[in-house]
Structure 1
Amino acid sequence: MKLNAQTLSQLDPRIAVPSYDRSQLKPGILHVGLGNFHRAHQAFYANQLLNTGGSPDWGILGAGVMPTDAAMRADLEAQDWLYSVTKQGAGTEEVEVSGVMCGFLPVEEGHGPIIEAMQNPDVRIVSLTVTEGGYYVSAETGGFNPEAPDIRADIASPDKPKTVFGAIVAGLKARRDAGQVPFTVMSCDNLPHNGNVTRSAVVGVARGQDGALADWIDANVAFPNAMVDRITPATTSERAAGLAEEYGLEDARPVFCEPFLQWVLEDNFTAGRPAFEEVGVQIVEDVTPYEHMKIRMLNGGHAIIAYPSALLGLTYAHEAMAHPLVSAFFDKVEREEIYNVVEAVPGATQPEYHAALQERFANPAIRDTIARLCFDGSNRQPKFIVPSVAENLAQGRSVPGLALESALWCRYCFGEGEQHQEIAANDPSWDRLTGLAREARDRPAAWLEMRDIYGDLAEKPDFRDAFAAALESLWSKGCEATLKAYLGL
Structure 2
Amino acid sequence: MTLSNATLNALPPDVARPGYDRAGLTPGIVHIGCGNFHRAHQAVYLDDLFALGEGHDWALLGAGVRAGDAKMRETLLAQDGLSSVIELDPAAKSARVIGAMTGFVAVEAGNAALIAAMSDPAIRIVSLTVTEGGYYIDPKTDTFSPSHPDIQADAANPEAPNTAFGAIIAALKARRAAGLHPFTVMCCDNVPHNGHVTRDAVCGLAQLSDPEMAEWIKANVAFPNSMVDRITPATGPHERALAKGFGLEDAAPVTCEPFRQWVMEDNFPAGRPALEKVGVTFTDQVDRFETMKIRILNGGHAIIAYAAGLRDIEFAHEAMADEQIRAFLDKIETDEILPIVPPVPDTDLEAYKQLIIERFSNPEVADTIRRLCLDGSNRQPKFIIRSIRDRLAKGLDCSGLILESALWCRYCFGTTESGAEIAPNDPSWDRLQAQAILAQDRPAAWLEMPEIYGDLAQNEALVAQFSQTLQDVWNRGSQAVIADYLAR
* Shared fold, TM over 0.5: yes
Is this contact kept in 2: 1:340–1:392, CA < 8 A?
no
| In the alignment, structure 1 residue 329 sits paired with structure 2 residue 328 | yes
**Paired residues for 1:398-477 under 5 Å:** 398-477=397-476
Q: Give the structure 2 partner of residue 114 of structure 1.
A: 114
Deviation, 1:481, is 1.0
SS in 2 for 1:114: helix
SS in 2 for 1:92: coil
Is this contact kept in 2: 1:316–1:369, CA < 8 A?
yes
Aligned-partner Cα distance in 1 for 2:70–2:475:
50
| Residue type at the aligned position of 1:263 | W
What root-mean-square deviation, in Å, do the aligned CA atoms of Structure 1 and Structure 2 show? Answer: 1.3
Q: Give the structure 2 partner of residue 152 of structure 1.
A: 152
| In the alignment, structure 1 residue 186 sits paired with structure 2 residue 196 | no
Q: Give the structure 2 partner of residue 99 of structure 1.
A: 99
Aligned-partner Cα distance in 2 for 1:145–1:456:
17
Query: Could you list the per-position Cα deviations for residues 249-268 of structure 1 after superposition, in whole angstroms to 9, with x for gaps in the alignment?
Result: 11122111000101111111
Aligned-partner Cα distance in 1 for 2:431–2:318:
30
SS in 1 for 2:94: strand
Q: Give the structure 1 partner of residue 238 of structure 2.
A: 238
Is this contact kept in 1: 2:82–2:97, CA < 8 A?
yes
Q: Give the structure 2 partner of residue 18 of structure 1.
A: 18
Q: Give the structure 2 partner of residue 360 of structure 1.
A: 359
Deviation, 1:141, is 2.6
**Paired residues for 1:66-465 under 5 Å:** 66-244=66-244, 246-465=245-464
Is this contact kept in 2: 1:84–1:96, CA < 8 A?
yes
| Residue type at the aligned position of 1:336 | D
- The worse-fitting range, judged by mean Cα deviation, of 347-356 and 451-460 is 451-460
SS in 1 for 2:111: helix
Aligned-partner Cα distance in 1 for 2:381–2:26:
40
Aligned-partner Cα distance in 1 for 2:19–2:48:
10
Aligned-partner Cα distance in 2 for 1:455–1:55:
45
Q: Give the structure 2 partner of residue 479 of structure 1.
A: 478
- The worse-fitting range, judged by mean Cα deviation, of 169-178 and 391-400 is 391-400
- The worse-fitting range, judged by mean Cα deviation, of 228-237 and 136-145 is 136-145
Aligned-partner Cα distance in 2 for 1:459–1:340:
25
Is this contact kept in 2: 1:184–1:270, CA < 8 A?
yes
Is this contact kept in 2: 1:398–1:463, CA < 8 A?
no
Is this contact kept in 2: 1:415–1:424, CA < 8 A?
yes
| Residue type at the aligned position of 1:174 | A
Instruction: Using structure 2 for the length normalisation, give the TM-score.
Output: 0.98
| Residue type at the aligned position of 2:448 | E
| Residue type at the aligned position of 2:396 | R
| Residue type at the aligned position of 1:364 | P
How many residues are treated as equivalent by the alignment?
A: 488
Aligned-partner Cα distance in 2 for 1:158–1:459:
39
SS in 1 for 2:251: coil
- The worse-fitting range, judged by mean Cα deviation, of 99-108 and 446-455 is 446-455
Deviation, 1:462, is 4.1
Deviation, 1:464, is 2.5
| Residue type at the aligned position of 2:333 | E
| Residue type at the aligned position of 1:292 | T
Aligned-partner Cα distance in 2 for 1:247–1:449:
50
Q: Percent of pairs identical after alignment?
A: 56
Aligned-partner Cα distance in 2 for 1:166–1:307:
36
Q: Give the structure 2 partner of residue 27 of structure 1.
A: 27
Aligned-partner Cα distance in 1 for 2:406–2:325:
15
Is this contact kept in 2: 1:404–1:466, CA < 8 A?
no
- The worse-fitting range, judged by mean Cα deviation, of 467-476 and 448-457 is 448-457
Deviation, 1:57, is 0.8
Deviation, 1:352, is 0.6
Deviation, 1:461, is 4.1
Is this contact kept in 1: 2:84–2:243, CA < 8 A?
no
Deviation, 1:348, is 2.2
| Residue type at the aligned position of 1:456 | D
Aligned-partner Cα distance in 2 for 1:397–1:138:
26
Deviation, 1:424, is 1.3
Deviation, 1:344, is 3.0
Is this contact kept in 1: 2:139–2:381, CA < 8 A?
no
Query: Could you list the per-position Cα deviations for residues 241-282 of structure 1 after superposition, in whole angstroms to 9, with x for gaps in the alignment?
Result: 2321x2211112211100010111111112011111111111
Aligned-partner Cα distance in 1 for 2:177–2:75:
36
Is this contact kept in 2: 1:82–1:99, CA < 8 A?
yes
| Residue type at the aligned position of 2:41 | H
Deviation, 1:416, is 1.8
Is this contact kept in 1: 2:239–2:254, CA < 8 A?
no
Query: Could you list the per-position Cα deviations for residues 451-485 of structure 1 after superposition, in whole angstroms to 9, with x for gaps in the alignment?
Result: 22222323334432321221111111111111111
Is this contact kept in 2: 1:343–1:350, CA < 8 A?
no
Alpha-carbon distance change, 147 to 190 in structure 1, aligned in 2, over 3 angstroms: same
Deviation, 1:39, is 0.5
Aligned-partner Cα distance in 2 for 1:406–1:79:
43
Aligned-partner Cα distance in 1 for 2:198–2:326:
36
Is this contact kept in 2: 1:304–1:330, CA < 8 A?
yes
Aligned-partner Cα distance in 2 for 1:45–1:254:
17
| Residue type at the aligned position of 2:257 | E
Aligned-partner Cα distance in 2 for 1:226–1:317:
26
Is this contact kept in 1: 2:311–2:418, CA < 8 A?
no
SS in 1 for 2:252: coil
Is this contact kept in 2: 1:399–1:463, CA < 8 A?
no
Aligned-partner Cα distance in 1 for 2:129–2:458:
36
| Residue type at the aligned position of 2:71 | A
| Residue type at the aligned position of 2:92 | T
Is this contact kept in 2: 1:224–1:269, CA < 8 A?
yes
